[in-house]
Structure 1
């Protein structure tokens, strides 16, 4: 008698589905918490040095990760996280279609591009098939890393909004 082991991939903390669900949940929480996104305009991503002492370790990690985006304010970062979440939920096709091109026009354009370089594409396909597993694992590791960072950033933005609104620091 064979015993089947049924493991839900989403319950495994190391699964891609779990990482995706955590980011989407964090982005949804961010979206539900931030009732007035316009209050985030012109607010730098990084808090002042005197506020850093009040942060917990998770916030310090998230702030280190957002420090590379100094040109963005919290509002732009909020919009970026929402956009990434929407792309994950709806796919990139929705974005392409919202640019005015129909699905048929996009498909025709892709077909024309393929016909312009058929021999190059065939050569690349042979090379790609030779090492698909390596490519898959490389991109999977990258996706895990990016989604983990995005989740931390969404949580950080939410927590910072709560602290700032609670203290009235956004009001001018």
Structure 2
């Protein structure tokens, strides 16, 4: 069994630390938002509210805060429980769909399948992407929590 040294776990640039920061931000979001349904129809970006007032159409990709809250919780659950829990409940997560798509993609002559340097390059490419995505998700979870506190007036009665 592989053990994680305390040095790598305490390194602020380690993957484990980035994952812990996102999960902590998502847990804080979940603990702060006591009534998630209040987030319905609340625009995700504050500037979207002013655009709506000016009768300018919003993008189709614009989500409300409730959908974004559910997305962040779903990603956190996928990270904590993996794909097995989703498969048992027969729901398809984004991660599961990506894995299935990767398995179904035929191997072409463009990518060498057994090259160690290719695997290392792929690993570093995906690791950089994972760091970037987790950092953005952490910022979004913190933003959603703070925005909820502002909108609901949670300065005095919330911790």
Structure 2 unaligned regions, length at least 5: 51-58, 92-99, 155-159
Query: Once the two structures are superposed, what CA deviation does each residue of 1:5-58 show, in whole Å capped at 9, x if it has no partner?
Result: x6432210110000000000000000000000000000000114899xxxxxxx
Alignment of 1:76-95 (within 5 A): 76-95=67-86
Question: Which residue does the alignment assign to 2:46?
Answer: 47
Question: Which residue does the alignment assign to 2:37?
Answer: 38
8 A Cα contact 2:19 2:134, kept in partner: yes
Where does structure 1 differ by over 6 angstroms across 4 or more consecutive aligned residues? none
CA distance in 2: counterparts of 1:127 and 1:69, whole angstroms: 39
The RMSD of aligned alpha carbons is 3.2
Instruction: Give the superposition deviation at 1:136.
Output: 0.3
Q: Which has the higher helix share?
A: 1
**TM-score under structure 1 length normalisation:** 0.66
Partner secondary structure for residue 71 of structure 2: helix
Q: Aligned match of 1:127 in 105, 108, 112?
A: 112
CA distance in 1: counterparts of 2:15 and 2:147, whole angstroms: 27
Q: Aligned match of 2:90 in 99, 102, 106?
A: 99
8 A Cα contact 2:21 2:138, kept in partner: yes
Question: Which residue does the alignment assign to 1:64?
Answer: none
Taking a change above 3 Å as real, the CA distance of residues 69 and 21 of structure 1, as seen in their structure-2 partners, is: farther
1:154 pairs with 2:141: yes
Taking a change above 3 Å as real, the CA distance of residues 71 and 48 of structure 1, as seen in their structure-2 partners, is: closer
CA distance in 1: counterparts of 2:138 and 2:25, whole angstroms: 6
Structure 1 unaligned regions, length at least 5: 1-5, 52-67, 101-109, 115-119, 168-172
**TM-score under structure 2 length normalisation:** 0.71
Question: Which residue does the alignment assign to 1:164?
Answer: 151
Structure of higher CA gyration radius: 1
Aligned residues: 130
